[in-house]
């Protein structure tokens, strides 16, 4: 568990497809964007108010770095320079439960 926390804290922003990674990021106050690949992950993201992109139909394709940055800016709807200060209230509320679950 500690190794995962240390690993996550190295980053300013995390994007991925795993709900546990998104939760770990938010527990550590690191902004995240969850790419929802299935309905279960999408429903969890919606319920927990985790920033997400619905990719159930696999429509993401980045041909270069600029396309990726444009995607983040257009879909995340926040200033990337201020993300580190944002907190997810739902994650904070259930932080203890999440930490126990992740052990």
What are the pLDDT tens digits along the chain (103 aa)?
566 666 677 787 888 999 988 988 888 888 888 999 999 999 999 998 898 889 999 888 889 888 887 887 777 654 444 444 455 565 566 666 656 655 5
Give the predicted TM-score (pTM) of the model.
Answer: 0.66
Place of tokens 């580190």: 84
Give the domain ranges of the chain.
2-102
Q: What is the torsional sign of CA 53, 25, 20, 98?
A: negative
């Amino acid at each position: 568990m500690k190794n995962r926390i240390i690993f996550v804290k190295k980053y300013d922003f995390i994007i991925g497809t795993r709900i546990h990674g998104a939760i770990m990021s938010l527990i550590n106050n690191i902004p995240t964007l969850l790419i929802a690949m299935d309905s279960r992950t999408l429903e969890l993201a919606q319920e927990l108010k985790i920033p997400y992109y619905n990719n159930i139909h696999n429509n993401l394709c980045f041909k270069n770095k600029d396309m990726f940055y444009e995607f983040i800016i257009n879909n995340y709807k926040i200033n990337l320079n201020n993300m580190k200060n944002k907190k997810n209230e739902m994650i904070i509320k259930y932080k203890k439960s999440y930490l126990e679950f992740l052990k």
